[in-house]
Chain A
Amino acid sequence: MSISRRDFLKIAGISSLGIGFSATDLLWKNAEAVEYMTSPKGLKAKRWAMVVDVRKFKTEGDYKRVIDICNRIHNVPDFGNTKDEVKWIWTDTFEHVFPFQQNKYLPETVQEKPFVLLCNHCDNPPCVRVCPTQATFKMKDGIVAQDYHRCIGCRFCMAACPFGARSFNWRDPRPFIKHVNPDFPTRTKGVVEKCNFCVERLEKGLRPACVEVSNGGLIFGDLADPGSEVRKILSTHYSLRRKAELGTRPSVFYIIGGDEDA
Chain B
Amino acid sequence: MLEKALTGSRRYWGWIFFLLAVIGVGFMFYLRQFAYGLGITGMSRDVSWGLYIGQFTFLVGVAASAVMLVVPYYLHDFKKFGKILILGEFLAVASVVMCIFFIMVDMGQPMRVMNIVLHPTPNSIMFWDAIVLNGYLLLNIVIGWTTLGADRKEVPPPTWVKPLIYLSIPWAISIHTVTAFLYAGLPGRPFWLSAIMAARFLASAFAAGPAFLIILALLVRKLTKFDPGKEPIQALGKIVTYAMITSVFFLILEVFTAFYSQIPGHMLSFEYLYAGLDGFGKMVPIMWISTVLAVVAIILLIIPGTRKNESILAFACAAVFVSLWIDKGFGLIVGGFVPNPFERVTEYWPTLPETIIAIGVWAIGFLVITVLYKVAISVREEQIESESNTH
A residues with a Cβ closer than 8 A to B are 26, 30-31, 82-87, 92, 95-97, 99-100, 126, 129-135, 150-156, 158-164, 167-172, 188-192, 243, 246-248
Contact = CB atoms under 8 A, between A and B. Distances in A.
Given A87-B45, A152-B108, 20 more contacts: A26-B121, A26-B122, A84-B39, A99-B341, A131-B124, A150-B115, A151-B112, A152-B115, A154-B106, A154-B108, A155-B106, A155-B108, A159-B48, A161-B341, A162-B186, A168-B48, A191-B108, A191-B109, A246-B187, A248-B187
B186 to A, nearest CB: 5
A243 B49 CA distance: 23
B130 A132 contact: yes
B14 interface: no
Q: Is the interface of B mostly helix, strand, loop or mixed?
A: loop
Name the 7 nearest CB pairs between A and B, nearest first: A153-B108, A162-B188, A190-B108, A170-B39, A189-B37, A171-B39, A132-B126
Contacts of A169: 37, 108
Nearest to B125: A130
Contacts of B265: 99-100
9 contacts: A82-B346, A129-B123, A131-B121, A131-B124, A150-B115, A154-B126, A161-B188, A169-B108, A246-B188
B105 to A, nearest CB: 11
Contact of B119 (A31, A150, A167): A150
Contacts of A247: 187
B127 interface: yes
B229 interface: no
B120, B124, B126, B342 pick with most chain A CB within 10 angstroms: B124
A153 B115 CA distance: 11
Contacts of A135: 115
Contacts of B264: 99-100
B309 interface: no
B36 interface: yes
B340 interface: yes
Interface in B117-152: 118-127, 130
Contacts of A129: 123-124
Contact of A243 (B44, B103, B115, B188): B188
Interface string B95-121: 000000001001111101101101111
Contacts, number: 152
B225 interface: no
B38 interface: yes
Contacts of A189: 36-39, 108
Interface of B: 36-39, 43-46, 48-49, 103, 106-110, 112-113, 115-116, 118-127, 130, 182-183, 186-189, 264-265, 336-337, 340-344, 346
A133 B121 contact: yes
Contacts of B189: 159, 162
Among B43, B123, B337: residue with most chain A CB under 10 A: B123
Given A26-B122, A135-B115, A161-B341, A82 B44 contact: yes
Contacts of A171: 36-39
B48 A158 contact: yes
B49 A159 contact: yes
Which of A26, A131, A132 lies at the interface centre, i.e. has the most chain B CB atoms within 10 A of its CB? A132
A158 B336 CA distance: 12
B112 A130 contact: no
Contact of A83 (B44, B122, B186): B44
A190 B103 CA distance: 14
Given A160-B188, A191-B108, A96 B37 contact: no
Given A85-B45, A100-B265, A126-B186, A132 B116 contact: yes
A132 B37 contact: no
A15 B345 CA distance: 51
B155 to A, nearest CB: 42
Contacts of B38: 153, 168, 170-171, 189-190
Contacts of B44: 82-85, 170
A130 B188 contact: no
Contacts of B108: 151-155, 168-169, 189-192
A99 B266 CA distance: 13
Contact of A97 (B48, B115, B121, B342): B342
Contacts of B344: 96
Contacts of A26: 120-122
Q: Which among A152, A155, A192, A246 has the highest number of chain B CB atoms within 10 Å?
A: A152
Most buried by A among B39, B122, B340: B39
A86 B49 CA distance: 16
Nearest to A131: B124
A152 B186 CA distance: 20
A159 to B, nearest CB: 6
A188 B37 CA distance: 10
B45 A167 contact: yes
A130 B39 contact: no
A128 to B, nearest CB: 8
B116 A99 contact: no
Contacts of B125: 130
Contacts of B124: 129-132, 156
